[in-house]
Chains A and B, each alone.
Chain A
Amino acid sequence: MSAGGDGGEAKGGLPPNTIIGIGAAGGLIGIYLAHFLPATFSFFGGLGAICAIVWGADAVRRVASYGLGTGVPSIGMISLGMGILTALFGLSVGGIAGPIVAFIAAAVIGAIIGVLANKVIGMGIPIMEQAMVEIAGAGTLAIIGLSTVIAGTFDYAVVLETVVSTGFIAMIFIIGGMGILHPFNANLGPDEKQDRTLILGVEKAALAMIIAGLASSINLGLGPAFVTILVGLTVWYISFNKFFGFVKRDAYAVVGTGLLPSEEELQ
């Protein structure tokens, strides 16, 4: 009895390379914009995190379709586990190239764990190596993106002071992981569609952005925090409506159950 996935290749929708491009390029551009522009524009880090989380959700979708033998959340957790190690490593040694160093380190560790999963543990998922690289990279960019929203920069000392020692890093760990693991976990099944899964990823990432925006008010002040929350709310509203639209499109019927019957009606 294994949970999750139907044991085959995920089909349909945008090709993987397009999503990889959007995730990696969008994530890095967002992070660098948030770093170089004034604090008011720290929301770009959140937009970068949205790109990265959508990429992560798509990679989870592709690998978990084969059936992991265990729940989908596990792969989101290993993504953020690898991500947190490599993100802080990259920022600590990379200086201005921090996010890129982190990204490369994530790819290396992801490849190692992917090879181990296939060769030693014998999971036998053909795309495991590539997917682990992608998942680690996406997790790393999501963590750096959300950290940049809170800190306004990805400078190691500032991130340590405002994100790590305050404990917001633990919150980023969970909300970032939620964005990567939840979309496929919620949508899996024979009727799974890529656009519905990914738009749920956008919605979760927007929620993460709103929460990171709230946290950023301590360090950056109310103005930038307000901008981040506003952008996050806008993205959330649009993506949630789209997701609900896709749910109605894919469902056989959407019916209201009405309110609970009153005691007289039950007689």
Chain B
Amino acid sequence: MIDLAANLLWMFLVVIGGVLISWSVHFVPVGGAPAAMAQATGIGTGTVQLAAGAGLTGLISAGYTMQVVDNLPLILASGTVGAMIMISVTMIVGTWVYVYGVGCVPSSAKVKVDPITHDRQDLYVSQGTEGHGLPTVSFVSGVIGGALGGFGGSLVYYALLKVGMGVAEVDANMIGLVAIFAVGIFFVNAVIPSYNIGGTIEGFHDPKWKKWPKAVISSFVATIFCALVAVIAISQLGGL
């Protein structure tokens, strides 16, 4: 039968990874549909798409490193940097579109001055909008979000693969199973915080950011159960 006690450490790491993913979403400047029309600060798409885009890139780069080396810090670093690059590219291209395409100044409606550059924001917010584009503070916040998401995603992947390694040889079946479980856990933990922030957030300077404990607690509880089913299903590989 399945030895859950032996996998307790890995389950714990999966839960930590899930919680980090949940927390990371609060840093990503998600603008949703209003931002797609340059009527709110942030990137013009939903939380899930952004978190998934960055986090899955982190998963891929972590998986790639894992082919070469079985060293946890290196794998986590690879996943973290992969997700940071992905979210940065998304944000810089988005900024080009807002500045040169739409023709608006990146500005935040939630704070009067940018906490990082100390530039005035409220003067540049167009009437009838909640800001537009990605001011410096949102960009920095997004990179932090990408880092946390990539770190969490690669932690989940690493821990689940370790569970599999405990019962069978690594093969394509195991990699596929572990990867899709990591994706499933990622999506669950990306959607829970997106309901917490109500679809849009500007970054860590947004008042909504302070609501993060609610999402983190929810993700913590939900991920325990996700980790349980994932560990049981992966452990069954040993009996095949």
Contact = CB atoms under 8 A, between A and B. Distances in A.
Interface of A: 1-3, 68-71, 73-75, 77-78, 80-86, 88-89, 91-93, 105, 108-109, 112-113, 116-117, 120-123, 156-157, 160-161, 164-167, 169-170, 173
A160 B222 contact: no
A5 B185 CA distance: 27
Given A85-B185, A85-B230, A113-B222, A70 B34 contact: no
Interface in B199-233: 199-200, 214-215, 217-218, 221-222, 225-226, 229-230, 232-233
Is chain B's interface secondary structure helix, strand, loop, or mixed overall? helix
Interface string B61-87: 000000000000000000000000000
B199 A117 contact: no
A2 B199 contact: yes
A160 B191 CA distance: 27
A69 B33 CA distance: 11
30 contacts: A3-B33, A69-B198, A69-B199, A70-B32, A70-B195, A70-B197, A70-B198, A73-B46, A74-B195, A75-B191, A77-B48, A78-B188, A78-B192, A81-B185, A81-B188, A82-B188, A85-B184, A85-B226, A93-B233, A109-B226, A113-B188, A117-B195, A120-B221, A121-B192, A160-B237, A161-B173, A164-B173, A165-B175, A169-B176, A170-B183
B130 interface: yes
Interface residues of B, number: 50
B180 A169 contact: yes
B24 interface: no
B225 A112 contact: yes
A105 to B, nearest CB: 6
Contacts of A82: 184, 188, 226
Contact of A89 (B171, B172, B217, B232): B232
B187 interface: yes
A208 to B, nearest CB: 17
Contacts of A169: 176, 180
Contact of B186 (A81, A86, A91, A157): A81
Contacts of A68: 195, 199
Given A3-B32, A165-B176, A109 B225 contact: yes
Interface string B154-175: 0000000000000000011101
Contacts of B52: 77
A112 B222 contact: yes
A74 B196 CA distance: 12
A144 to B, nearest CB: 13
Contacts of B6: none
Contacts of B196: 121
Contacts of B237: 160
A161 B240 CA distance: 11
Nearest to B46: A71
B48 A74 contact: yes
Contacts of B47: 70, 74
A164 B233 contact: no
A104 B39 CA distance: 43
B130 A1 contact: yes
B117 to A, nearest CB: 26
